[in-house]
Every structure is written in C-alpha cells, then in structure tokens.
Chain A
Amino acid sequence: MGGRNNHRPTETADPAQADGRRGGEAVFSTRGVTKVYTMGAVEVHALRGVDLDLYSGEFVVLLGPSGSGKSTLLNILGGLDVPTAGSVRYMDEDLSGAGDAVLTRYRRDHVGFVFQFYNLIPSLTARENVALVTEIARDPMTPEEALEIAGLPDRMDHFPSQLSGGEQQRVAIARAIAKRPRVLLCDEPTGALDVKTGIVVLEALDRVNREIGATTAVITHNVSIAEMADRVVSIYDGRIAEVRRNDRKVPASELRW
C-alpha cells in the first residue's frame, strides 16, 4: 500500500505529535477522552484523558494489562460506546456525541470487528456468516473473496460447530473485512487460541491489513504480538503510557509466546 513508511522510531508520551506518519491522514483523532462508569456507589475511571491519532492503513497494537482501559478505548473507537468527556473524530465525523442511529450507521459502513470469542452465528455457515455483512454493506467484496483473504477458502459451507477455533476466528475476520472497512478493530483475537492457531490468525490479520489497507487496531495483553505492529500504544490506568514505533516489523510467522 502506498505511503507506507517504517523508518522513524519515536519514543514519546505525546501521540499527537510523535507518530511520524507523514504520508497518512489521521483516520481517528481523540482528544482528552475520559470514560467514567458508575457502578453502584463507585465511580470507575476507565479512561483519564486520552489523546491519540490513528492513521490510514497502519497496524497498531494497543497493549495493556487487564483493567487498563484498552477495551474501553476500542469500544469508543468502534462506536459501541461514547466517552464521558473529550472528543472522538472519525474522518470528519464527531462520534463523541452521536446517537444510536448514527453509531449503527457508522459501524455498518466503516468498522469491522473481530472478537475474542468469534461471535459467529451458529445457525449460519461460514459463507453465510460473511454474507450477513455483505448483504447490508455499501460496497462489499463477495463472501468468497473475503474468506479467501482470511485464508479459509475451502470450508465455506461448514457451520461454526464444524470448524476449529482458528477457523472460526478466520471466518470472523472474513466477516469483518468483507465490507471493505476503513478500520478493523480486534479485541484479543488470539485470546482463546493456542499459539499455532493464534499465529495463523495473526497472519490473516496482517495480510488483510496489507491487502485492503484498513487501519487495524488490535488490543491484547500479549507483548509478543506488539512486534508485528507499525506502532505500539501502551495503555496503563486509563492513560497512554507510551507510543513506540517498530523499526522492524516482525512477520507474524516468526512470533512466539
């Protein structure tokens, strides 16, 4: 994909300036995002002021321990949730104050999701699970293409109960990319898989990122996965602790954990 430029490492806690992605336009731009949950009498500060830009086509890993706020951030980026304060912009659109209809529209047209537990529809075959999305998207690829890219060309007519975990996750990836999303958001995509299968899935994500150019954000607490990213954003206690650019992207097949 054009404009890809991997040679400037940065080490700073200021993501707004320290990205070095001169050629890419900012797809997401968050400023001062906070999220407070009230659980009974207790207020939980999940995010405490996050400024972050994500650029077109880059592969970002959001790294952090559980409870750090990374999932909350991903949910806000994906339009599943809105921040308590601060602004979230996707291209020219302000997501921070959007209502349900706008967010549904946004998810439908622009976002692909991959979940830790796949969330496939058990009553639909692999092909049909993908078709679920292609039927409502504006400019989708065919389910077959999507499954091809996700690396599962030959088990299209199997139901989820007939597929292994890794295969199910690749169906989920195919389902996420079939609408040609601008952003692909993955929440612990390998969390339920063994190393070998996990790597197959990560390879699929990498290929998808390259081939359709979607801005890909993967959240994980697995430090090894960070090696394959363009940038690694570490989150701790609701704040961005560090943004690091990888000098050399390690191919997924070489990862071990």
Chain B
Amino acid sequence: MVRALDRKLLRDLRGSWAQALAISVVLACGVAMYIMSMTTLVSVERSMESYYRDQRFADVFAHLKRAPDSLRERIVSIPGVARAETRVVADVNLLIDTRPEPAVGRLVSLPERGEPALNAPYLRRGRWIEPDRPGEALVSEAFAEAHSLRPGDSVRAVINQRLRELTIVGIALSPEYVYEIRPGEMLPDPLRFGVFWMSRRELGPAYDLDGAFNDVSLGLMPGAAKAEVIARLDELLAPYGGLGAYGRDEQISHQVLESEIDQLRGMSLLIPAIFLAVTAFLFNMVISRMIRSQREQIAALKAFGYSNTEIGGHYAGFVGLIVFAGVLLGAIGGWWLGGAMVDMYVRFFRFPRLDLVFDVGAVAVSALLSLLAAGAGAFWALRRAVRLPPAEAMRPEPPPDFRATVIERLGLQRSLSQPARMVLRNIERQPLRSSLTCLGMSLAVAIMVLGNLNAEIIDRLIKHEFFWTQRQDMTVSFVEPTSGRSLREVERLPGVLYAEPFRAVAVRVRSGQVSRRVALMGLPEQRDLRRLLDEDAREVALPPDGLLISESLAEILGARPGQSVQIEVMEGRRPVRAVPIAGVIADYSGQSVYMNIKALHRLMREQDAISGAFLKVDPDGAEALFSELRRTPGVAGVTIKDAAIDSFEETIAESLLLLRAFTISFATIIAFGVIYNSARISLSERGRELATLRVIGFTRAEISRILLGELALLTLIAIPVGLVIGRELGAFAMEALQTEHQRFPVVIGRQTYAYAVAVTIVAATLSGLIVRRRLDRLDLIAVLKSQA
C-alpha cells in the first residue's frame, strides 16, 4: 500500500520531471567520469601488476660495455638482490623491403636454456625460439602489427656489419616494452622501432660477447634498499663501462605507464568534484523553490499531525530518488566509458590482456559522495521545511523586499527601462543565488576550456620539441663516437643538404645526495638545427663553458645558475668534474643537459669526436639517402622526424577527439542543467508577474526578454569568469599531473576560448528557448485569480 505522502512525492517528481532529469544527468556525468577513471585506473593497475609479476619485471636495470659472465656472481651477492639476469642487447638497422626508410631493431638475448629469470617475454602467437636453430627470433607485437609480420616471415638486419636474415617464429610482448618506445625518443613509432628476442648463443658471438654480457637486470628482495643496490652495482660495473644503473622509476616504459596512472587518478578527482559541486547547487535551488511553493501543503501536513521527521524525510526522499537515478545512470555510463578508455589504452600500451574491472567500490564511493553533495545542497531548504511553524506556513510568504540597485543608487537609472530595472533588481536581491547560478555556468565554461587543453598542450609540445627546438629532418647516430671527419662523409651522402654534429655522452649529474642519469649533449656554438629555448620560446645562447640544463632537472637537483654540479661521465676515461650551470632552458620531456661541444671535448679529453649528426635533407633525395644509410656500417640508427610525428598524431588523434567529445558533452550538460533550472525557477517564481505584464499588454517577446534577459546577463558575466577558472584549473591540473619526466606548458589558444564561449552561448540559448515555450503557454487568467 503506497502511502499518500509517497504518492505526493512521486507526483511532485513527475510534475518537475525535466528539472529532476537535468539534475540527475549533471550528477550522472560526475559519477560517470569518476567511475570511468576508477574503472580504467583499477583495470590498468591490476593488469600492470599481474603482468609484472607473471613476467618477472626487473627492479633495477643497467647497461654496460662488456663484462665477463663471472661478474654475475658478485652482482647476485649484493645485499638485497634476489635474482640477476645478464643479457646481450644491441640496436641494429633493419632492412624492410616494403619501406624505404631504415628501422631500428633492438636485439635482446634469451638464455640458452629455459625462460629468462627476469623480463620474460610473453608469447602472444607462434612458438618459442629453438636455441640450436640459427636466425630464429621473436618479434614485439607492435612492430609486427605495423609491418603485418606473421610467424614464418623474415626480416633482414645488419648485425655487427653483416647482413643477417631473422626468421620470426613468434610474436611476443614484454613488461619492459608495455609502451614500446626507443630509448631517447619522445614518441613511439612502431613502424621504425621493434624489439627482437634471439638466442644468447647466437647474439653473444655476433657482438664478441661470448661468455660476456652488456646488460643486466636485477630482481630485488622485498624491503631491499634500492638506492644502495644501485650504488653498489654502479661500483661493480664501472670498470666494465657501466652506463649507470637505474630503477623502474627511470625505466621509460614504466615511467610512461606510471604517469598515465597518475593522470587518471588526477582526472578521477578534479572533474567529478566540479560536477558534484554543481549538483549540490542545483539541489539547493530546486528544493528551496519547491519548499517555498509548498508552504501551505507543509502547514496542512503538520496540522494533520505529520511529524517534522516525516516531512523532512518526504523532501529528502525527493532528493534521494534523483540521486539514485543519477548514480545508476552514471554507473552505467561510467562502465561504458571505461570500456572505451580501456580500448584506447590497448592502442598505446601493450598488455597480454587488459580486462575491464568493474570497480564496485567506486560506485559505492560515488553514491556516498553524491548523497553528501545533494545533502549539502538541500540541507538549508530542508531545515526550513522542518522548522516552519504550521500557523506561519498557512500565511502566504510576505512580498519580497526590493530596493534600488547599485547602478541606480549611482544615479544611472535614467538609461534603464522598467524591464531592465526588474532584471537588475532581481539579480541584486538574491546575490547568493545569482552568484551561484553564475558560478555554475562558469564551471561549465571552465570544463570546456579544460577539454580542449589536452589537445592544445600536445600540439604545443610537438611544436616546441619538433619544430622550434629540433629543426632537423633526420638524425643519424653512430655505433661508436667517431672523429669529426665523418661529418664530412655524412654531408657528402646523397640528399643531404646540411649536417650538424653532436656529441652525446652518458653521464650522471649529481648535486649533493641527488643524482640523475642523463645524456650530456655537446653542440656547436653556431647551429641551425637544434635550438635551445626558454619558456617563451626565445633562444638561449650556448655559452663557451658551463651547462645549460632543463628547468625540471634544475629543480630536482636544487641547483641554480651560477652553482656547480658534479658530472660523472659513464664512458671513456670516466672523468668526474664539477661544472657550473650557466643557464636554464625549457624542456618539457625528460631532462636534458647541453654543453658547448668544444667544452665537452675538453671534459672528455678527446679531440673532435662526434656521436652523430642532425641532417637537413632534400625530400627528393630522401630515398637514395635511406638506401645508402641502411648499408652504412657504423650507423646505429636513423630517426626521421616527420614520420615519428605523423605516426604519433595518427594514433593519438582519435583518442583526443574522443576525450574532447566527452568533455564537451559533459560541459554542455552542466551549462544546460544550470541555465535550464535557473530559468524554470525564475519562471515559477515570477509567472504571476509575467502574466500580469501580458495582461497589461506586453507581448510574448517582451516578457521573454525580462525573464531571459536576467539569464543572459548572468551568462555574460559567467563566461569571462569561467575562462579564468578554466585557465587556473588547467594550470593547477598540469602542475598536479607533471612528473619528473614530463611537464606541460599551459597554453590556451584563442580558439579554445572562443569555442568555450560559443558552446556556452548555444547551451544557454537552447535552454532559453525551451523555457520560452513555457512562457507562451502562461495561463493569464489563472494567475490573476490566485494570490501571490
């Protein structure tokens, strides 16, 4: 048996279904964002954990020149080390018949017997290699997909200056390459970088590493002191050309994955919080209006003997039903969006499986948070309902008090028509509600700005890195540092218009207790192809002595220009020197350290060694150049800038579009929810007033202008406020999301602002039109008969 009061609840809900729906949908957006982020977060985290565990992802990594296998025993005996896996790892040029440009293959050795103790590849298809069958290899999935390689296909590679044919027997994944990117590169490019696993028995002799290794990974015991292990390992490897050991936090694939998880976590908090705040505001607005218009009903209920608790519960039930609908809708939407996000992640990150984990806890948390927000919003209104003495409730509410507005008190009233005065006085009489309405709309504008920020930042990063800083078409790196003369050889290659040398040296930069492994780049003073820029993209001159370091590194080291840092070189004679910091440059990805190439030569005590060259290439001669480079011994790798950017943008464009579509729909829903509800409430509060005006002879258009004028004015105020909030939130979010390795420039272009403004105005106009239709149906006679 449904109680009469419950029936009233349902009918009230039906009577204001559009408003209830608007609130539910705003709430649902927040819940959906939260559940989407949490679902994706939990899915990615769990997949990562189980993947790392099953494939025994190492804790510490190190590369070196050459060490005998016997060193392994000493490495394992470092306190805290549970397991060690020594390998031979080498980068080679691949010759692929279907593509003119060279690709780089990373060859990784597999033990002769059994699976590797650490970083075991996960076999997706095909079979494991047979150690006694030469030329067999496993290939990484991303590369295989990019080149449509299947088990049985073969690839040619230049292994230690000899052309070899690799037969692919299996397609594999590795926890080391969840994000498959070539170290030192900014963007993944599966067309031009792939990982190959081959037998140690075959790879060792090929690189003169029989009975030796040039790469080691460690698994640590629980609770081991990682920093200590790294320091001990560095000591052990130093005589063997160790390039500096590092933990997972500096392992590039893991780094990217972690920062993605951090970003998801950030997203799961910021945006839903905005939606919850707006929901609270909408509840406040709608419930207070409802209680005001139901004074007599409340009084009658009390007169009949209903208790305060029952009446409070009645209106709380109204709130509860809307919250329930919102959470339900949001949970379904979040689950669906989570699926879309996970699909997107599968394209960037290579997991054996990435299962969508529905996070029931997240639903519970979001239900709780929604109830809290709704409760906070409705609290004061509910308290008023409960406190209303029956006799007072029977009397109509006294007429609202008005006074002249600030504008009029300033003596500017002559310019105002009566309708304009009505608009201004209504806004000024309820400053809190007007400002909350305004704030609600501002938040919609802000979300819109945030939605576009993503794309703008990526665009800016690409511009900064690839068009302003790196202006070469191609980068050639040599296997070993060679003499400056080889630059002239490179310049003479077909298609090369211009070449600029660089010297890259693996170093550890240290300041006090803090140190980081970086590549110290030596550049000529006069250069064209690599510019060093400050935050405003102005060029910073490379001084004859001293370092230019990226801002993030300066912060990590706690060192400022003028101070010195210790440079520990990891190759050659391994000199250690204190070098002063000459200046700071803006570098958004990774940490870079630059030096005048002559100063670097002096530091290294070498003549004119170079590690490679940046090239400006004639597009027509590119193909000839490629085929020449593929055959050139001593060239370790070629990076083609445009190709990398294209392939990156291709992958990311769709995802960005998807994200942008989400945020825009969400922001539109907020804008619509706030404006529509405000308009509806104004209409119900002022229907009588507007009907009177109609009777007096005002046209529909004229009274619409009064009602909608107020909203239009609030919208106009909300827009600039929202743009500022959007920019500040963006800066805040980027600050929160930045990691040691990735920073984000906060750049907001004019079109983002214009876009946010346009969408808001459209949303406002749409809700205005809907309310306007109700104005047209205003019952002129009924309102005149009733008391205010």
List the interface of chain A (C-beta within 8 A of B).
71, 75, 78, 80-81, 100-101, 104-105, 107-109, 111, 113, 115-117, 119-125, 128-129, 131-133, 135-137, 159-161, 175, 179, 187
Minimum C-beta distance from B711 to chain A (A):
16
Q: How far is the CA of A169 from the CA of B786 in the complex (A)?
A: 16
Known A-B contacts A117-B787, A161-B398; the reply to A104 vs B697 at CB < 8 A is yes
Residue from the list A105, A107, A123 in contact with B425, Cβ < 8 A: A123
Decide if B694 touches A123 in the complex (CB within 8 Å).
no
CA distance A128 to B400 in the complex (A): 16
- Beyond the given A75-B781, A159-B403, please list 8 additional residue pairs across the A-B interface where CB-CB is below 8 A: A71-B785, A117-B786, A119-B783, A121-B692, A123-B426, A128-B418, A135-B418, A160-B399
Q: Is the CB of A128 within 8 A of B421?
A: yes
> What is the chain B residue whose CB lies nearest that of A188?
B785
- Is B698 an interface residue, CB under 8 A from the partner? yes
Q: Is B699 an interface residue (CB 8 A)?
A: yes
Can you give 16 A-B contacts (C-beta < 8 A)? A71-B781, A80-B780, A108-B697, A115-B692, A117-B784, A117-B786, A119-B688, A119-B689, A120-B692, A122-B400, A122-B689, A123-B422, A133-B696, A135-B417, A160-B399, A175-B696
B656 adjacent to chain A (CB < 8 Å): no
- Knowing A121-B689, A123-B426, the reply to whether A161 touches B696 (Cβ < 8 A) is no
Nearest 5 pairs between A and B by C-beta? A108-B697, A119-B692, A123-B425, A107-B697, A132-B418
Q: B97: CB under 8 A from chain A?
A: no
Q: Which of B400, B404, B696, B784 has the most CB of A within 10 A?
A: B696
A179 neighbours in B (Cβ, 8 Å): 697
Q: Give B157-175 interface residues, CB cut-off 8 Å to A.
A: none
- Residue in A104, A111, A137, A175 whose beta carbon sits within 8 Å of that of B699 in the complex: A104
Q: Bound state CA distance, A137 and B697, in angstroms?
A: 9
Residues of B within 8 A of A121 (CB): 422, 689, 692-693
B784 cross-chain contacts in A, Cβ below 8 A: 115-117, 119, 187
> Closest Cβ of chain B: how far from A177's Cβ, in Å?
12
B733-774 vs A, Cβ < 8 Å mask (1 yes, 0 no): 000000000000000000000000000000000000000000
Shortest CB distance B85–A (Å): 80
Contact A124 B780 (CB under 8 A): no
Indicate if B536 sits at the interface (CB-CB under 8 A): no
**Distance in angstroms between the alpha carbons of A121 and B399 in the assembled complex:** 10
A104-B694, A133-B696, A136-B698 in contact; A122/B402 too (CB < 8 A)? yes
Bound form: Cα–Cα A61–B785 in Å: 19
Residues of A within 8 A of B401 (CB): 159, 161
Q: How far is the CB of A228 from chain B (nearest CB, A)?
A: 23
How far, in angstroms, from A10 to B562 measured CA to CA in the complex? 113
Let me know if B695 is at the binding interface, CB within 8 A: yes
Q: Judging by beta carbons under 8 Å apart, are A80 and B697 in contact?
A: no
Closest A residue to B786 using CB positions: A117
**Is B254 on the interface with A (CB-CB < 8 A)?**
no
**B788 contacts the other chain (CB 8 A):** yes
Cα A68 to Cα B401 with chains together (Å): 37
> Is B429 on the interface with A (CB-CB < 8 A)?
yes
Q: Is the Cβ of B399 less than 8 Å from the Cβ of A133? A: no
Q: How far is the CB of A146 from chain B (nearest CB, A)?
A: 13
User: Which residues 220-251 of B have a CB within 8 angstroms of A?
Assistant: none
Please name all residues of chain A whose beta carbon is closer than 8 Å to the beta carbon of B689 when the two chains form the complex.
119, 121-122
Cα of A135 to Cα of B425 in the assembled complex, Å: 19
A30 to chain B, nearest CB (A): 18
Distance from B89 Cβ to chain A, minimum over Cβ atoms (Å): 78
Nearest chain A CB to B682 CB, angstrom units: 12
Chain A contacts for B429, CB-based, 8 A? 123
With contacts A123-B422, A124-B422, A132-B418 known, is A161 near B698, CB below 8 A?
no
Q: How far is the CA of A129 from the CA of B399 in the complex (A)?
A: 15
Known: A104-B699, A119-B692, A133-B697. Is A80-B402 also a contact (CB below 8 A)?
Answer: no
Nearest Cβ in chain B — how far from A138, in angstroms?
A: 11
Which residues of the other chain, A, contact B400 by a CB distance below 8 angstroms? Answer: 122-123, 161
A133 CB → nearest B CB, Å = 6
Give the complex CA separation of A115 and B400 in angstroms: 19
Nearest-Cβ distance from residue A161 to partner chain B, whole angstroms: 4
Query: Complex Cα distance A41/B466, Å?
Result: 76
CA distance A123 to B695 in the complex (A): 18
Complex contact B697–A122 (CB within 8 A): no
Cβ B418 vs Cβ A109 within 8 A: no
Cα A108 to Cα B698 in complex, Å, equals 7
Establish whether residues A132 and B693, one from each chain, have CB atoms under 8 Å apart when the complex forms. yes
User: A132 CA to B689 CA in the complex, in Å?
Assistant: 12
Which listed residue (A80, A116, A117) contacts B781, Cβ 8 A? A80
Q: Which chain B residue lies CB-closest to A110?
A: B697
Least CB distance from B689 to A in Å reads 5
Q: A44 to nearest B CB, angstroms? A: 14
Min C-beta distance of B566 to chain A, whole Å: 73
State the CA gap A204–B697 with chains docked (Å). Answer: 23
* A107 vs B703: C-alpha distance when bound (angstroms): 15
Q: Which residues of B contact A125 (CB under 8 A)?
A: 404
Residues of B within 8 A of A131 (CB): 418
CA distance A117 to B425 in the complex (A): 22
How long is the Cα–Cα vector from A100 to B697 in the complex, in angstroms?
A: 11
A111 near B421: Cβ-Cβ < 8 Å: no
Residue from A78, A101, A111, A122 with most neighbouring chain B CB atoms (10 Å): A122
A120 to B693, CA, bound (A): 9
Q: Are A113 and B695 closer than 8 Å at their CB atoms? A: yes
Residues 670-700 of chain B, each 1 if its beta carbon lies under 8 Å from chain A, else 0: 0000000000000000001100111111111
A113–B688 Cα gap in the complex (Å)? 15
Q: Which of A71, A108, A161, A187 contacts B402 (CB 8 A)?
A: A161
Interface membership of chain B positions 620-643, coded 1 if the CB is closer than 8 angstroms to chain A and 0 otherwise: 000000000000000000000000
CB proximity of B712 to chain A, nearest CB, Å: 17
Write the chain B residue with the least CB distance to A130.
B418
Please measure, in the bound complex, the distance between the C-alpha atom of A131 and the C-alpha atom of B688, giving whole angstroms. 19
B402 to chain A: closest CB distance in Å? 5
- Cβ contact of A132, chosen from B402, B426, B696, cutoff 8 A: B696
Bound-state CA distance A78–B419 (Å) is: 23
Choose among A81, A105, A135, A161 the residue that contacts B399 (Cβ–Cβ < 8 A): A161
Residues of B within 8 A of A113 (CB): 695-696
Q: Which chain B residues lie closer than 8 Å to A105 at the CB level?
A: 697
0/1 per residue, B689-722, Cβ < 8 Å to A?
1001111111110100000000000000000000
Query: Within the complex, what minimum Cβ distance (angstroms) separates B408 from chain A?
Result: 10
Separation of A81 and B784 alpha carbons in the complex (Å) = 13
CA distance A33 to B560 in the complex (A): 94
**Contact at A123–B693, with CB atoms within 8 Å?**
no
Q: How far is the CA of A45 from the CA of B642 in the complex (A)?
A: 83
* Cβ–Cβ < 8 Å partners of A137 in chain B: 697
Give the complex CA separation of A119 and B698 in angstroms.
14
Q: Which residues on A sit within 8 Å (CB–CB) of B786?
A: 117
- Note all chain B residues with C-beta closer than 8 A to A115: 692, 784
Given contacts A81-B781, A128-B418, A135-B417, contact A122 B694 (CB under 8 A): no
Chain A residues near B695 (CB-CB < 8 A): 78, 80, 107, 113, 119
The answer for the CA separation of A159 and B425 in the assembled complex, in Å, is: 12
**How far is A173 from B619 in the complex, measured between Cα atoms in Å?**
87
Closest chain-A Cβ to B205's Cβ sits at a distance in Å of 93
Set of chain A residues within 8 Å of B785, measured between Cβ atoms: 71, 116
Structural contact, A159 and B696, CB atoms closer than 8 A: no
Return the chain A residue nearest B695 by Cβ. A113
Select A108's contact among B419, B696, B788, beta carbons within 8 Å: B696
Do residues A123 and B402 form an inter-chain contact, with CB atoms below 8 A? yes
* Inter-subunit contact A124/B692 (CB<8 Å): no
In the bound complex, residues from chain B placing their C-beta under 8 Å from that of A187 are: 784
Chain B residues with Cβ below 8 Å from A175 are 696
- Chain A neighbourhood of B398, CB < 8 A: 161
Minimal beta-carbon separation of A114 from chain B (angstroms): 11
Cβ-defined contact, B781 with A111, below 8 A:
no
Residues of B within 8 A of A111 (CB): 697
Complex-state Cα separation, A100 to B417, whole angstroms? 25
Report the separation of the CA atoms of residues A120 and B422 in the bound assembly, to the nearest whole angstrom.
Answer: 12
A136 to B699 Cα, complex, angstroms? 10
